[in-house]
Structure 1
Amino acid sequence: MATTDFDTSLPSIRQVQNLIKQAAVVEFKLVTGDLLTGKILWQDPGCVCIVDENSQQTTIWKQAIVYLQPKG
């Protein structure tokens, strides 16, 4: 049985957790070239879920993210 650890000691995991707590608006650049903007609702070892200004939720595979940065 494979286990996937969610290592909260990793800086990237902590950064995303802080962005969730702050309800910060974040821009995601994807490998497809798309830019998505929204607040991060949650993350797990493989994905993050964001909600945009229209309350639409989008789940993004972490391997599809080139970078993320707070907007503003």
Structure 2
Amino acid sequence: MHTTEFDTSLPSIRQVQNLIKQTAVVELKLITGDVLTGRVLWQDPQCLCIADENSQQTTIWKQAIAYIKPKVS
């Protein structure tokens, strides 16, 4: 049985939720090599959305993400 339920017991889900709560600026590297910077607005089981410094929103498929980390100023 395949479930798309949001499992908040997973550390990766909790970590992204904390980044959302903290409105932390993150660096998000995609498997294509592109690097996006912004604040994570939301996540669901398949995607997350970040907003850049101009409030431009980008929805990213989680499977396209190589890594996500808080940006150090």
* TM category, shorter: over 0.9
> What does residue range 13-32 of structure 1 map to in structure 2 within 5 Å?
13-32=13-32
The answer to whether structure 1 residue 6 and structure 2 residue 6 are counterparts is yes
Deviations 1:8-55 (A, max 9, x none): 000000000000000000000101100000000000000000000011
The root-mean-square deviation of aligned C-alpha atoms, in Å, is: 0.8
- Which letter does structure 1 place at the counterpart of 2:18? N
Cα deviation, residue 5, structure 1 = 1.0
TM-score by length of 1: 0.95
Identity %: 79
Q: Which residue of 1 aligns with 2:58?
A: 58
TM-score by length of 2: 0.94
The whole-number CA distance in structure 2 between the counterparts of 1:4 and 1:45 is 6
